[in-house]
Structure formats: structure tokens, C-alpha cells
Amino acid sequence: DTAVSQTPKYLVTQMGNDKSIKCEQNLGHDTMYWYKQDSKKFLKIMFSYNNKELIINETVPNRFSPKSPDKAHLNLHINSLELGDSAVYFCASSQVWLWDEQFFGPGTRLTVL
Amino acid sequence: QQPVQSPQAVILREGEDAVINCSSSKALYSVHWYRQKHGEAPVFLMILLKGGEQKGHDKISASFNEKKQQSSLYLTASQLSYSGTYFCGTPNSGNTPLVFGKGTRLSVIA
């Protein structure tokens, strides 16, 4: 069984569109995260969501918004996509906030044309 | 504040050892190590906490020097499967998300 899954695996879209990436974890973890990995492989935290408390990286544009319908899901919505949004987006989860190993999903490669 | 990793890249022959360093200009509360193979997701290796507690895989060893604000990951008797990019991550303060370094690319050749 897949621990952390993401859909879609690839996403190609035009500038200005709105898109969503879904993430689900079946590990029973309390905390979920979204990371962005750019072309230089820099892995940057975007959001952390723990027991309904959301921590936002201040550098993330407000075009990005996480939505958590329940503890097992943390979806990422992106409005008005820009070329610079092209990257691989990883979802992750951990049992304990921060002080525990994070399990990463397989990633979603977003390409904005 | 992003931790600094060194070296940026290293090439090893099977069986050789390597050390990857991670340093911070701020006080370290914990250091988290991950490995990412090409085209795959990062995979957890180890967490080192202030006070000496560690959690991780048995075959991986690492050190955490609070005074020097640095951590080192030790890879001994390297195997081809060790190839990948190694990231260290640290929280900027006690309760903030991880900030990862730029990574160290390790290539193990036969």
C-alpha cells in the first residue's frame, strides 16, 4: 500500500490557469507538508499543517493555498499560474510535528507554459 | 537561514568512505538527513536532536556538534545504492519547519 500518494504525477498547463494537486496519506499521521523543489533541486517548505494549525512559509505567494478536508488529505490549490511555478511539488507527512521522520509522496511535476 | 552543506558533490568508488557536512550560523535544535535518488522522492535517513538523541537507520551514522553548530553524515564502505543527493534540514527555531541545505550529490562508481 502506498503511504503518501499524490495526483496527478504530471501536470502541464498554461499561464493564468488554476490547478490543484491532491495528497493523501494512509499512515494515520497528524502532520502534513507541502514542499517545492525547483530546477536546481532546492527543496523548500511551503506549508505545514498540524491538527488544523497551518504554518505558511512567508515567501509563498498567496496564489497558493492548502486545503485539508480531513486529517488524511492536504490538497494544494494554485491560482493564476506563472512560469516560475514550474517545479516538482512534494507532499509529506509525519506522526509528530517536526521531531519525526517525514514520509514523502512521489511528487507532482508541474510545467507551466 | 539555510544550512550550508559541503562538499557540493563527491565521487566515490565502491567500498570507499565519505563524510557530508552540514553547518548553520544559528543554534541547532535538530538536524534531519534525507537522501533523494534521481527522479524519486526524498527518503528519511536520520534525525539528530540536542542532547544526543538519534533516530534513524542502523547502517547510517552521523554526529551532531551543538557547539560548532554542525552535523556530519558518515557513509562507510559505500555501495552503488548510496548514490543520490543528500540533504540536511534544520528548523530555524525550536518550532519552525525545516529549512533544507542545497544538497550534496554523491556518486558511487564500480
Question: Residue A58: its pLDDT value, please?
Answer: 77
Is the Cα torsion angle B66, B67, B69, B75 positive or negative in sign?
Answer: negative
Q: What spatial distance separates the first Cα and last Cα of chain B, rounded to whole Å?
A: 37
Is the Cα torsion angle B74, A32, B38, B101 positive or negative in sign?
Answer: negative
How does residue A12 score in pLDDT terms, banded at 50, 70 and 90? very high
Mutate to test the interface with B, among A37, A42, A43, A74 (most CBs of B within 10 A): A43
Residue A42 contacts B, CB cutoff 8 Å = yes
Contacts of B103 (CB under 8 A, 6+ apart): A41, A42, A43, B5, B8, B36, B85, B86, B87
Residue A7 contacts B, CB cutoff 8 Å = no
Q: What percent of chain A has pLDDT over 90?
A: 73
Residue B74 contacts A, CB cutoff 8 Å = no
Among partner residues A57, A98, A104, which is closest to B42 by beta-carbon distance?
A104
Instruction: List the domains of chain A with CATH numbers.
Output: 4-8+17-105 (2.60.40.10)
Is the Cα torsion angle B55, B58, B64, B70 positive or negative in sign?
Answer: negative
Cα–Cα distance between A31 and A25 in angstroms, integer?
A: 10
Q: Is the pLDDT of residue A97 over 80?
A: no
Among partner residues B40, B44, B103, which is closest to A41 by beta-carbon distance?
B103
CA distance A39 to chain B (A): 12
Over residues A21-46, mean pLDDT: 94
Cα–Cα distance between A7 and A23 in angstroms, integer?
A: 7
Domain positions in chain B are: 4-109
Cα–Cα distance between B62 and B69 in angstroms, integer?
A: 14
Q: B4-109 architecture in CATH?
A: Sandwich (2.60)
Contacts of A93 (CB under 8 A, 6+ apart): A3, A4, A25, A27, A29, A31, A32, A33, A102, A103
Question: Residue A55: its pLDDT value, please?
Answer: 80
Among partner residues A43, A101, A105, which is closest to B100 by beta-carbon distance?
A43
Contacts of B66 (CB under 8 A, 6+ apart): B27, B28, B50
pLDDT tens digits in sequence order for chain B, 110 residues long: 899 999 999 999 999 999 999 999 888 888 999 999 999 999 999 999 887 778 887 678 999 988 889 999 999 999 999 999 999 999 877 677 889 999 999 999 99
Question: Residue A38: its pLDDT value, please?
Answer: 94
For residue B89, give the 3-state DSSP assignment.
Answer: strand
